[in-house]
A and B are shown apart, each in its own frame.
Chain A
Amino acid sequence: SQTIHQWPATLVQPVGSPLSLECTVEGTSNPNLYWYRQAAGRGLQLLFYSVGIGQISSEVPQNLSASRPQDRQFILSSKKLLLSDSGFYLCAWSVSGRQVYNEQFFGPGTRLTVL
């Protein structure tokens, strides 16, 4: 069965510090991978998605970046965090290539507080 991991689970960082969040998927190959952010009391905002190694598409211009160095690893980074970067960061995966049965499955999330 497939599982998705995210770490760390919680993070408190000062403004201006760097960020690295990691997501890994087990039990599947060549998944589509997604990074979402959910601000407190708000909906899901898609930040990045990837259909393969080294292939990153950005949905929202901001001070975040993403990388996919391995097939089942997705990393979210920032060089300098802003207060507005606080939120619940969710990684998700879906089976690639499917046009219909394309459910997304979410990891447990990382709660980031920028002070």
Chain B
Amino acid sequence: QKEVEQNSGPLSVPEGAIASLNCTYSDRGSQSFFWYRQYSGKSPELIMSIYSNGDKEDGRFTAQLNKASQYVSLLIRDSQPSDSATYLCAVYSPFKAAGNKLTFGGGTRVLVKP
């Protein structure tokens, strides 16, 4: 079992719809959770951080964390073609990661079609 798992996609979403991305993790001691957006040929960009159960909203993005079920999700509302990218989920587990290392999932590719 991979430590952080994501569906590789592609997730095809009509423009204006909601894109829903999921990420599951294996370490129950995980403490911090991050979503990065990576456009083709570019470096990852941090778009959301979440540390406690529940929802966190930032503009069109909502991150949802459920530690009991060990999953974190990202919702993109009113999806735009510019949201087409690969979204990486990253997890920090303090008892397993010296140097504040993050464990990354393989990423979900999102395609927003006009």
| B interface residues, tally (CB under 8 Å) | 25
Known: A32-B99, A43-B104. A106 touches B44 (CB 8 A): yes
**Which chain B residues lie closer than 8 Å to A111 at the CB level?**
41
Q: Is B46 among interface residues, defined by CB-CB distance under 8 A?
A: yes
**Which chain A residues lie closer than 8 Å to B88 at the CB level?**
43-44
Contact B94 A99 (CB under 8 A): yes
Contact A102 B100 (CB under 8 A): yes
**Which chain A residues lie closer than 8 Å to B42 at the CB level?**
108-109
Contact A103 B44 (CB under 8 A): no
Against A, the Cβ 8 Å flags (1 = close, 0 = not) of B46-79 are 1001010000000000000000000000000000
**Which chain A residues lie closer than 8 Å to B104 at the CB level?**
43-44
Tell me the bound Cα distance from A42 to B92 in angstroms: 20
Q: Is B31 among interface residues, defined by CB-CB distance under 8 A?
A: yes
Q: Is A20 among interface residues, defined by CB-CB distance under 8 A?
A: no
Contact A106 B101 (CB under 8 A): no
Closest to B51 in A: A100
Tell me the bound Cα distance from A65 to B94 in angstroms: 26
Contact B100 A32 (CB under 8 A): yes
Contact B43 A109 (CB under 8 A): yes
B100 touches which one: A88, A94, A106, A109 (CB < 8 A)?
A94
Which chain B residues have a beta carbon within 8 Å of chain A's beta carbons? 31-32, 34, 36, 41-46, 49, 51, 88, 90, 92, 94, 98-102, 104-107
